[in-house]
Structure 1
Amino acid sequence: MEINDAHICGRFHQIENDERGSSYSDPTIYGNLNPSKETIEAIIRTLEEGSCNGYAPCVGYEVARQAVATYLSHDGVEFNSKDIILCSGCSSSLDLCITAIADGTKNHNILMPKPGFPIYRTLAESIGVGVKTYNLLPEKKWQVDLLHLESQIDDNTAVIILNNPSNPCGSVYDENHLRAILSIARRYQIPVIADEVYEQIVFPDKKFVSTAALESGVPILICGGLAKRFLVPGWRIGWIAVHDPINAFDDIRSALSSLSQKIIGSNTLIQGAIPDILLKSPQSFHDDMINTLCENAKVAYEAIDKVPGLVPYMPDGSMYMMVKIDLDKFPHFETGLQFIMRLMEEESVFCLPGDCFELPGFMRIVITLPGDIMKEACDRIVNFCNKYYT
């Protein structure tokens, strides 16, 4: 049987989720990043009260939806509970949004970033919707190639997916760049799905700007959740926030409400605790996590930047860093996939190939590890490259 790159990349996704169900990109897996005391107390209090053990409305409890609306209302944006739909994790939010906007029977396509999170493609193609990609520019801190984005739009383009901060790139777009992207969407009258699950996870010298804050005149479905910023990915609480300044989404609101019945509502215990989780977790908790990520990013960047044949791209946020592999310097390997497989076999260092994000010749490293493990992983990468560099 011939083993091609797609098979190998699929195997990497299997390896990333080990036999315990843990994912190496899960920020909680090493035990150094944990939810806040306030989060744990909110869950215990909700459990002891016993008021959230039954079914909730499919779109979520009113009090939970209002808490999310309040949490997301900043920088001049105001949401209310009617704008919020609670889902089973951010992936569920993305699923509902793509399904509500795009229709495979009408030959619709979506535009997603390249490199980009592969679930966008999976969700679209599962309902017969086509996928086109627009390039991100590594030499410009992974900004969107605006000309390429515009060139990819056609009469069947149903929505543009925008991921900020980015997985896998760690990029954080400033206000001007976001306005330029939204200007294209407005010109062609195409709505946006904004994947903002890493919202506020930006390094100290950067600022997170939500697409909803820009008064662009573009209808936007914002997808987010507790998983990353509150360090509880297994609790499966995500949300959709409908930002519709031109009242173009009446039918979409109705479709989202109907589609939410697919999951019969999200986790009610977490819904009961979500007001306290969102509104009482102290800023110091968030700052500590960001400081850990930023320090790890610096350690990884400084170590890998000295390695001939590798080019790291310093992230501005999120939980990841992309690294380019100059295969001309490693003639033992024909592809980046081969390089990364051998790195895993010889040094027990697991990185996701760029192929998993539609960008061969790169690899994604995770920066959520404890500092000593982060340093050891970098040392092992250095040893491996020194062995094979020519």
Structure 2
Amino acid sequence: MSDLARKTENPIRSIWEGCKSTPNPSKKLITLQIGDPTIFKNFLAAPEAKVALRKALDHDNFSYMSCAGLETSREAVAEYVNKNYKGLTTQDFQPITFNDVILTSGCSMALEMCFRVLANPGDNILFPKPCMGYSTWIVGCGVEARYFNLDPNKEWEVDLEHLESMINDKTKAILINNPGNPCGNVYSKEHLLNILNVAERHKIPIIADEIYEFFTFPGVQFYPLAALSKNVPILTCSGITKRFIMPASRMGWIIINDRNHLLDSVRKGLFNLAGRNFVPNSTLTRALPEILRDTPQKFFDDNSKALFNHSLSAFSILKTCDGLTPIMPKGAMYLMVKIELEKFPNIKNCLEFSKILLSEQSVSVFPGFPCFNFPGFFRIVLTVPEELIIEACGRIKMFCEKHYKHDGDKYLKSG
């Protein structure tokens, strides 16, 4: 086995596929783990997207195309981005063109390409903490993952002082995930400008993981980082897998936002890397312009409203649970919950919490560690039908009532 294969592990997949705990056979399993909104069929792709796919299939001759994707599809992404950025940009924002777009096999490939084009062995990339398993794509390549803190007491804002303290002369990029997984954070315009100021002072580009772009709850505004940046180059990674509810489509893209031509060599490098992997599925590539153009705004609004209602239902129950503090999200499809582990003396950590919860209540959640490199928390997914979210959170409440030790209980840990 190669070093790369031996060192590569996706902590989320390892927990999901390798969990040795057995659900309680007397209770139906409710999974609040995987961010696939289609599992229960209450969130599905828009009918317009399926029509576009059928039409593309009829006209697809399955031939090779440009490594960066069909020019017409890249033009459609550029049009989609410029339309959505309208009214949110700085005055000197330069609209992107198809030459700024590279189509990829999902947002994951887009991110991996950005990591590989920017960093050499011995370099480092800064990731948020908590976060999904970005290090999966750099492990074995000699690139170091360094982590800056997000503050759960400030709606998961970046701890700017800590971020700056993590930068050194080997730092090649900062990754910003907004709206965020696992936290459901959506950053204000002011906070994003503060992040840009840090990057500009240190002359470091930003990789913007915006796969949940515009996937925010009612009344919450999403600001694309590239729309606000005047001097910091931004490599934006996104796609149709989340907002368009097409997780297995594996259709993503990289948008190169570099108005000052600071990353000309990186631009060339990305197109070089695209040549290693070719493009996504040809039928999806051909369908992309219609999917982007014809999916109605009502589809996005209805999904956001539904997920917001799910989040309210979960939050209202979890906030009454002994020893738990849920943090209300602003977008995406996740909610993080803090565990007062000192009040659960028979449970050592959040991983054990999740395993015992599964075995007793048949509710599966992802522990903050190792899944998101953030001990003392667990994450739930909000795409489960609302009645199942209510039932699952009710079971979590019963679990806490059983294991929580109040002050004065003789079994309560000291300190």
Q: TM class, shorter-chain normalised?
A: over 0.9
- Report the equivalent of 1:82: 99
Bigger RCO of structures 1 and 2 (CA < 8 A, at least 6 apart):
2
Structure 1: distance between partners of 2:401 and 2:367:
20
Q: Residue 7 of structure 1: CA displacement?
A: 11
Cα deviation per residue 1:339-383 (whole Å; 9 max; x = unaligned)?
A: 111001111111111011111110010001111111111111111
> Separation in 1 of the partners of 2:125 and 2:195?
15
2:146 maps to 1:102 = no
The answer for the alignment partner of 2:373 in structure 1 is 358
Aligned-partner SS, 1:205: coil
Matched, 1:287 2:290: no
Q: What is the deviation of 1:11?
A: 3.9
Give the residue type in structure 2 aligned to 1:95: E
CA distance in 1, matches of 2:149, 2:364: 26
Q: Which moved more, 1:264-273 or 1:194-203?
A: 264-273
CA contact (8 A) 1:164 1:198 kept: yes
Residue 319 of structure 1 is aligned with which of 333, 336, 339? 333
2:15 is matched with 12
Deviation at 1:385, TM superposition (A): 0.9
Shift of 1:334: 1.1
Matches within 5 A, 1:127-206: 127-206=141-220
RMSD: 1.5
2:159 aligned partner, one-letter code:
D
Pair 342,136 (structure 1): closer, same or farther in 2 beyond 3 Å: same
Which residue in the other structure is 1:370 paired with? Answer: 385
1:347 and 1:384 in contact (8 A); partners too? yes
**What amino acid is the match of 1:41?**
V
**Whole-Å separation in 1 of the counterparts to 2:60 and 2:110:** 27
Q: 1:30 aligns with which of 32, 35, 40?
A: 40
CA distance in 1, matches of 2:279, 2:12: 33
Sequence identity percentage: 42
CA deviations on 1:162-195 (whole Å, 9 max, x unpaired) are 0000000000001100000010000000000000
2:397 to 370, 382, 388: 382
Q: Does 1:232 align with 2:246?
A: yes
- Aligned residue for 1:115? 130
Aligned length: 375
Deviation of 1:237 (Å): 0.5
- Which of 270, 273, 283 is the aligned partner of 1:259? 273
Q: How far apart, CA to CA, are the structure 2 residues paired with 1:25 and 1:7?
A: 15
Equivalent position of 1:57 in the other structure: 66
1:323-342 equivalences under 5 Å are: 323-342=337-356
Distance 1:245 1:314, change over 3 A: same
TM-score by structure 2 length? Answer: 0.88
1:212 is aligned to 2:222: no
Question: Is 1:93 aligned to residue 110 of structure 2?
Answer: yes
Preserved CA contact (<8 Å) 2:196 2:229: no
Cα displacement string for residues 133-178 of structure 1 (whole angstroms, at most 9, x for unaligned residues): 0000000000000000000000100000000000000000011000
Residues 11 and 47 (structure 1 numbering): CA distance in 2 closer, same or farther, change over 3 Å? closer
Q: Within 1, Cα distance between the matches of 2:387 and 2:96?
A: 42
Unpaired stretches in structure 1, ≥5 consecutive residues = 1-5, 17-22
The whole-number CA distance in structure 1 between the counterparts of 2:251 and 2:208 is 17
Which sits farther off after the overlay, 294-303 or 6-15? 6-15
Unaligned runs of 5+ in 2: 1-8, 20-32, 406-415
Superposed displacement of residue 50, structure 1: 3.0
2:388 maps to a residue whose letter is I
State the distance in 2 between where 1:334 and 1:253 align. 47
Once residues 99 and 162 of structure 1 are traced to their aligned partners in structure 2, the CA distance between those partners, rounded to angstroms, is 17
**Which whole-Å deviations, capped at 9, do the CAs of 1:87-112 have from their partners, x for residues lacking one?**
000000001000000111xx100000
**TM-score scaled by length of structure 1:** 0.94
1:14: how far off?
2.1
CA separation of 1:278/1:8 partners in 2, compared to 1, >3 Å: closer, same or farther? closer
